[in-house]
Amino acid sequence: MKKNLGVVPAVYPMPVLMVAAYDEAGKVNVMNAAWGMICDMDKIALFIDEEHKTTQNILKTKAFSVSLADRAHMPAPDFFGIASGNQMPDKFARSGCHAEKSEFVNAPVIAEFPVVMECELAEVVDTENMYAIVGKIVNTAADEAVLNEAGKVDIPKLNALIFDQFQAGYYVSGEKAGQAWSAGRELMPK
């Protein structure tokens, strides 16, 4: 029997996304965003508040990067979620992370995180029920250490953090449970 929990955003897993953008002076800001998702083969939607320093930077520069946080660097992503760029001007410097300028868009790429999507601002969705930044993915880059022999991201090597919305925990993805577009094939009509 199920127990009623009330209104709970009961989606698991949630990504641990590192959203980075420059301000108008070229200073790096990064935020931790769990409420984001791919919304087309070349687009990502970030459901983040307009008041965030990173959001304001994206609106000004029209570009940003989205990295997948990993276990090896967990303190930095958590810090990026705790500290506000609006209240802590040296937030990025305190993290100990390093940034390089993307060669594709006007946004920083955080060196420590193994996979990054470099994005141009495509659209802002601002309705009564939602505020979203939609980015067009211009390039995706990955550290060679997380790639398999075929040049694709190998999830167990990635050790990507996932967020537990229920108890505010971080977990690591990695165990393959089945093959997509195959595991349910036996249920298809013959």
Determine the residue type at 163. Answer: F
Query: Is the model's pLDDT at 174 over the cut of 80?
Result: no
List the structure tokens of 134: 């939609």
Q: State how far the Cα of 171 lies from the Cα of 169, in Å rounded to an integer.
A: 7
What is 14-187's CATH number?
Answer: 2.30.110.10
Q: Would you kindly state where each structural domain of the chain is located, as residue ranges?
A: 14-187
Q: State how far the Cα of 87 lies from the Cα of 92, in Å rounded to an integer.
A: 12
pLDDT at 82: 95
pLDDT at 176: 85
Task: Kindly state the average pLDDT of the residues 69-87.
Answer: 95
pTM for the full predicted model: 0.95
Query: Is the model's pLDDT at 190 over the cut of 90?
Result: no
Three-state secondary structure call for residue 75 = helix
